[in-house]
């Protein structure tokens, strides 16, 4: 491969991953604009009543902004700053798991359940709890593979996709279609990554293959598990940890 060809390939790759990060940012904004970012313009839109979710929203938004920033830093060759921000990202990810888990339990034990979700809350709890397992697992693998840029960027992207379901579910055209549509919206990003791999490598990168497969398989698995007595017993116990009565 000539130097000019290599540079063109590198530029194309940087544009692709920056584009993916920006697309994720757009989905998050579209999903949470009415209930969070532009809430003042949608006073009648249902939102979580607990102040906790304002903090939750700020922290999770910080991760999406960090994803875009990191992609832009790589595109500009600022790997030194990219690495320094990586340490902050690791701490932010741990905070997100704590807040995400607590937020899911608060919503599940709320009398009305999850906002605008017509599924019994103890059952729907399986969706965010699975996310709070996959997200830190993917982040940990991504950090462990930080010396392998191709693996690292894919795992961090997949980690973000693991928590994207809530944003997709709140996009007006999708929110009424139910969990299969929520998951399909996330899967489109995985398909885009797979197409990129085949186009540039001729095969799937192992991170895309295994991370994408785990994420996709987990989606119907959540729906299957959520209705079992074992899961419902766990959900009652978990929501009971917050010290308030659970939903019968």
Summarize pLDDT for 164-195 with one digit per residue, the tens.
Answer: 999 998 898 887 887 888 999 999 999 999 99
Spatial distance between the Cα atoms of 37 and 61, rounded to a whole number of angstroms: 10
**Confidence check: pLDDT of 120 > 80:** yes
Question: Is 168 within a domain?
Answer: yes
What percentage of the chain exceeds 90 in pLDDT?
Answer: 67
What pLDDT shows up at residue 205? 97
Question: Is 246 within a domain?
Answer: no
What pLDDT shows up at residue 4? 54
Question: Is 245 within a domain?
Answer: no
| CA atoms within a 13 Å half-sphere pointing along the CA-CB vector of 27 | 24
Question: Is 225 within a domain?
Answer: yes
**Confidence check: pLDDT of 90 > 70:** yes
Question: Is 119 within a domain?
Answer: yes
Give the number of domains in the chain. 1
Provide the residue range defining the domain that includes 32: 11-240
Q: Which ranges of the chain would DSSP assign to H, the alpha helix? A: 3-32, 52-75, 79-109, 121-124, 126-144, 149-161, 165-169, 179-201, 206-226, 229-240
Spatial distance between the Cα atoms of 214 and 172, rounded to a whole number of angstroms: 28
What pLDDT shows up at residue 9? 60
Question: Is 1 within a domain?
Answer: no
Place of tokens 């340490």: 87
Question: Is 93 within a domain?
Answer: yes
Question: Is 4 within a domain?
Answer: no
Task: Using pLDDT thresholds of 50, 70 and 90, give the confidence band for residue 160.
Answer: very high
């Amino acid at each position: 491969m000539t130097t000019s060809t290599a540079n063109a390939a590198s530029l194309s790759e940087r544009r692709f991953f920056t584009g993916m990060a920006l697309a994720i940012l757009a989905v998050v904004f579209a999903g949470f604009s009415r209930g969070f970012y532009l809430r003042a313009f949608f006073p009648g839109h249902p939102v979580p009543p607990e102040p906790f979710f304002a903090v939750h929203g700020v922290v999770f938004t910080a991760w999406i902004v960090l994803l875009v920033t990191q992609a832009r830093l790589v595109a500009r060759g600022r790997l030194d700053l990219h690495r320094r921000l990586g340490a902050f990202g690791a701490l932010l990810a741990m905070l997100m798991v704590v807040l995400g888990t607590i937020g899911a339990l608060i919503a599940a034990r709320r009398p009305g359940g999850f906002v605008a979700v017509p599924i019994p809350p103890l059952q729907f709890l399986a969706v965010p709890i699975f996310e709070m397992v996959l997200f830190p697992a993917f982040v940990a693998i991504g950090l462990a593979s930080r010396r392998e840029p191709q693996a690292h960027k894919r795992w961090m992207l997949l980690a973000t996709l693991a928590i994207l379901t809530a944003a997709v579910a709140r996009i007006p055209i999708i929110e009424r279609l139910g969990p299969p549509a929520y998951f399909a919206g996330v899967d489109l990003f995985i398909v885009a990554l797979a197409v990129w791999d085949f186009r540039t490598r001729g095969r799937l990168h192992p991170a895309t293959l295994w991370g994408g497969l785990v994420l996709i398989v987990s989606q119907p698995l959540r729906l299957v598990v959520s209705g079992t007595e074992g899961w419902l017993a766990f959900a009652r116990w978990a929501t009971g940890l917050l010290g308030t009565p659970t939903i019968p």
